[in-house]
Amino acid sequence: MFAAGLSFVVMTALVKSLGTTINPIQAAFLRYALGLAFLLPALRSIMATKLTPRLLTLFGVRGVVHAVAVMLWFFAMTQIPLAEVTAMNYMTPVYVTLGAALFLGEKLAFRRIAAILVALVGVLIILRPGFREVSAGHLAMLGTALTLGGSYLLAKLLVRDVPPSVVVAHLSIWVTLALIPFAVAVWTQPSLRDLGVLFLVACFATAGHYFMTLALQAAPVAVTQPITFLQLIWATLLGAVVFHESVDIWVVAGGTLILCAVSFISWREAVLNRRDLTPPSIAPKL
């Protein structure tokens, strides 16, 4: 999880380094188009998966939703500091928890509701409406976390019928297709530097997801989730040292509050799952 967090922060810093040299929508498309090279190992599984009309619909809808999230995220990167992007991105698991209760029938106990309210307080601390201007970049990050939450909820439906590797592969394919018309509308000739940076973005994004998968296989989410706090520290340091962004203590405080709430939700889910798997004391234990 340490390596995953480092990979994601480097990926974010690379996108930040592009600045305004390339349109955010075009950059998002090229990141996914170049990332299709990493699908080659999963090609056999992709071809072997039988696509029903229901699966095609879910893949397509998820691709469009995730494409919107990616465009908003790339836009936010050009508007607000690195630390604020990272801190506000922590809201995604909170939206997933809410969505699972609303649309997938999962229970939302009082403790989870309290944790969600704490996370929302964290967002208010970061944005501080009334005390400073809430920019288009902040609104874009709120939209990013919300649409990413929708994407992950659709993934939870898909992994019931399709292997995770195939779900990830189809995400890359459908997001690339969904971004084509938007990229064409703003297309300009990218420089070799921009292409190189975006290919590195795809590399570090893939590596981050791979390391995160290894972490989740090795330990419960309740153990790995708190380590993601390091992303906020690294993002704050990178923003200050490399991009000369001021360190906003309120952003760090709000991000910490959100992450504490997300970690608590993850811990509660781990406890409940373990309780479901553990037989009662009168039952034979194997």
pLDDT recorded at residue 222:
59
Using the CB atoms, write b or e for 78-103: b if 16+ within 10 Å. bbbbbbbbbbbbbbbbbbbbbbbbee
pLDDT recorded at residue 177:
95
Q: Is the distance from CB of 255 to CB of 127 less than 8 angstroms?
A: no
* Those residues with Cβ within 8 angstroms of residue 268's Cβ, 6 or more apart along the chain or in another chain: 109, 111, 112, 115
Two tokens, residue 27: 């950059």
Indicate whether 174 belongs to any domain: yes
Indicate whether 151 belongs to any domain: yes
Domain extent for 267: 2-275
Indicate whether 283 belongs to any domain: no
Dist CA 244 CA 216 (whole Å): 34
Indicate whether this model's pTM tops 0.75. yes
Per-residue model confidence as pLDDT tens digits over 149-170: 899 888 888 888 888 778 888 8
Q: Is the distance from CB of 243 to CB of 80 less than 8 angstroms?
A: no
Q: How confident is the model at residue 283 (pLDDT cuts 50, 70, 90)?
A: very low
Indicate whether 282 belongs to any domain: no
pLDDT value at 139 more than 90: yes
Q: How confident is the model at residue 8 (pLDDT cuts 50, 70, 90)?
A: confident
pLDDT value at 271 more than 60: yes
Two tokens, residue 185: 């509308």
21-35, 137-151, 178-192, 229-243: the lowest-pLDDT one: 229-243
Report how many domains make up the chain.
Answer: 1
First vs last C-alpha separation in the chain: 31
Mean pLDDT, rounded, for 65-86: 92
Indicate whether 286 belongs to any domain: no
Per-residue model confidence as pLDDT tens digits over 30-62: 999 998 888 887 778 778 878 889 999 999 999
pLDDT value at 265 more than 70: yes
pLDDT value at 285 more than 60: no
Indicate whether 201 belongs to any domain: yes
Indicate whether 284 belongs to any domain: no
Residue 132, SS3? Answer: strand
Q: How confident is the model at residue 75 (pLDDT cuts 50, 70, 90)?
A: very high
- 132: β partners: 129
pLDDT recorded at residue 274:
63
pLDDT value at 279 more than 80: no
